[in-house]
Structure 1
Amino acid sequence: MKMVHFYQRIELDNGKEKFVLKTTHRQPFTAQIEVTMNFSNDDTPSTTEFTIHGLLKEHSDLFKKGNQIDYYAGFFNADFSEHLIRHVVHGTITTIQPRKNDSGDWQLSFTMQDGEKYDKLKPIKVKTSKKIRQVASQKSLESKISAYNSKTNKAFNYWRDTHPHASDKEVKQKRAQATKKKKQARTQLSSSWNKQRKYLVNHKKYQVKTAYKALSFKPGTKGSTIIKKIAKLAGIKIQTVKLVYDRKYLKGYTAKKKPLACIKEIAADCNTTVYWKHGFLQVQDFVKQKKLDYVATSTTGLLDPPEYQEDSDVGKSWQLNLLFNPDISSGSVFQVKHESLSGWMIALSGSSTISTGSTSITSVVVQPFDEYKKKQQKSISKKKKSDKAAKAKKDKADREKAKEKRSKRSKGGKK
C-alpha cells in the first residue's frame, strides 16, 4: 500500500488549554508547517525548529516560551483509509519570534528543546530527624571512682612527703586506711550512680533536631535502583531504564550533584547511553532495542548511495539520505540493502527536514550493528574486570578487619 499524502499535527499545551493544528493538504486542514529536527545519542537535548504559515493571530498568541509541544507526522494512503503516523518529538518552547508578514504570508517561528528542562534542578536533600538530649548525660561510674581514687592517692602521697621520719608501720597503716576509704567510696558511688541513672532514665528530655543531607544509597545498591530513585524524587521523567551493565556500588553512592548529572554519571559507570528519543529521556542499551521492520532500499526511501564518513570518531559509519521516516531516531536499528552497504545498522545521529514544496528527508549517520555490539562488549568486559578486582580488594580488607577484631577480643580487648 503506497503512502502518498503527508500528514502533520502539532499539539500545544500551555497549562490552561490545548490547541491542535494539523495538515493533510485536504480542506479544511491545509496549514503549512516547516520543521527541522535533530537527534543524536548525546545526553544533551536536541532542538527542533518550526515555522507555521498562515496562522491566525489569536492562535499565534497561544504559543509562548515554556509551553509544551508534541509533534506528529507520517503518511496516508491515496484514499486516506490507512496511515503510518508516529509521535515524532516532544519538547518545550525555548525561543519564539514575533509573528511576521512576508508578502501577505503571516508566519510564526519558534524553537523547542527535547523534553522538559531539568538542568536547573538542585541537588536532592533528604530530611533527617535526630533526638538530642536537652540535659547533660550522666558521667560514667568508672570516671567518678577514678577521680576519688586519684584524690585519695594524692592525699596519701602528701602525708608521706610531709612525714619523712614516719616508721614503716605508720606508712603501712596510712596506706591501709586509704585503701579502705577507696573501697567504701566505690560502694557509695555505685549506689548513688545507680539511683541517679534510674532518675535520669525516667525523666530524660529530648528535642528533635532536623537536618538535610544529600541522598545516599547503601553499599551494594545497583545502578538501576539509584537512577530510578533519583529520577522519582527529582521529578525527572525517564521513558526507559535498561542498563547495559547494572553495576553494584560496593561503597554505596551519595548524590551530591544535580539530579540529571547524577543520572548521567551512574549511566556512564554502567556503560549505558543517556539520550533523548522523540523528545523523551532514555537510559537504555541500544543493542536490546526492538529492530524496526524497515529495509532501506532505493525503492523504499533510500534517496542516495550511502556515503562513508571518513572523519568519524565513532568508528566506521555512513550517512544515509532517506525519505522522511517518523520511526527513525537515536538508536533505531534497521536494515540497509545497497551494493556499497548492506546489513543491520544502528542510527547514531541525524536530522529530518520538512519543507513546503520539497521532499521531506531524514539524514542519518549509521554504524554496522555488529560492530557497535563488539565495541560495546569490549567496554563492558573491561568494566566488569575492574569491578571484580575492586570487589576482591574490598573483600580482602573486610576479612583482615574481621580477623583483627577477633584477635583483639581473644587478647581481652573490646567486646
Structure 2
Amino acid sequence: MHSPYENPQKDAATSLVSAFYDRFPYPGDPLQDGPPPGYNWRWSYTNVVYACTGATPAINAGESIRILDAGCGTGVSTDYLCHLNPGSDILAIDISSHALEVARERLHRSNAQQQVTRLRQEQCSILDLNQENSFHYINCVGVLHHLRDPRMGLQSLGNSLVPGGLIHLFLYADGGRWEIHRTQRALKLMGIGSNDKGLTLGRKLFKELPPGNRLRKHHEQRWALDTAADANFADMYLHPQETSYNLSKLFNLIRSVDLEFIGFSNPSVWDLSRLLSGELLELGLSLPIEKQWLLMEALDPDISHFEIFISKGHISHYDWHSINSLKSATIMVNKCLWGFPCSSMLGPDFEPLTLDVEETKIIQLLEQNLNQIEINQIPNINHSSTQDLVQRLLKKRVLIVSPTNIENFSSSKKKLEKA
C-alpha cells in the first residue's frame, strides 16, 4: 500500500525525488533562532499583489489570506511566508519526511507559528492536492522541474487557486544551465549516483579537471558559494529527475493549463537596456514585448532560471502613470525593508536605499498614522510637490500606493503580448 505522497501512476519520479531529498534535505541553510534575516518581497502577499495589479489585496473582513508553500523543503520559504504575512493561513507541503523534520525545527526556532492564524506542515505531493479553489497565493520555487510531468503539477496548482489567485513560479532555464547539464551528463556516464559517494566524487571532479576547463571555471566562478552546503551541491549536480525550459516552452506550458502569465518577478533581468544601447536598443524596444524577452534570452546565456508570476484568470492592473489618481490614493510603508525606520536601509531586493530629509518626514508622518494615509492628507513639505516626493519613494519601493476607492478607477487588463 502506498503512502499518500507516493503515487507512481501520477508521476514515476516521485519516490526517487522523495528519497533524494530525504538523503539531501534542501535547501541546506543553517538553522537559527529568531526571524529569518532580511526580506524577499516575493514572499509577501501584499507586495506580490501590488507588483501584479498596482493595488493592495482586497480581502473580506475576517478572512485570512490563504497561502500554499508547494514544495517547502527545509522550510526557508515557509519561514519568510509566515513572518511577511502575519495573520495568514499557511499550508506547507513537501514529499520528503526528512526535509519536513528540518522545516518544523526551523519554524519552531523562529516562532513562525506565532505570526500566523494557522500553520500546517504536511507530507504531500503537489499532484495529490485536494484543495480546489482554496489559496490566494501559491509559492512554488524549484519544484515543477523535478516532476516527470510538470504540466500535471501546474494543473494541480491552478486548480488549488481561488479565481484571480497568484502563483510565484521558479523553473530552470535551458540557456544558463549548459555547463551544469554537461557536468550532470558526465557524472551519469561514469555511473556516479545520487548518494553520499556521488557527492564525494562530484566535488572531486571539479578539483581534478584542469584549471582552465570551462566546466570547472564556470562552477568556481558562479556556483561554488551557492553549492557550499552538500545538499545544495547534490541538488544542482546529482538530482535524479530534472527538466529545464526555454521561454517558448514555458509560455506553452502556462497556456496549456489555462493560466495567465503576468510577468517576471525579476524584471530588471529582462530589461534590454542592461545589454544594449543606442540604435540596437531602439530596434529591440520596437519589438512586441514577448519578442523582446526572446531577444534577451538569446543575448544573455547566463539566465539560468525563470522567476514568474501567473494567475488564475485575467487580473486588472492600475496604471498610475495614466490616471490622475495619486491625489486620492492611499499610501503605506512597504513591509519588506531591512533596517526600517532609518534614513539608510536595504530595499525589497536587498539593495541599498538612502532617504533625504523630506522623504524621511513622509515616512515619519506615515508612522504616526499606523503606516497608512491618504495622499491628500499629507501637507506639502518645504514647498516641494508632495506627489513628486511620493513618486520618488514609490520608485525606490519604500511606499506602496493603492486606490482609496477602487470602483472609481478605470483599469486596464494586463495580458501577455503575442509575438
Q: With structure 1 as the length reference, what TM-score do the two structures score?
A: 0.23
Higher helix share: 2
Rg larger for: 1
Q: With structure 2 as the length reference, what TM-score do the two structures score?
A: 0.23
Higher strand share: 1
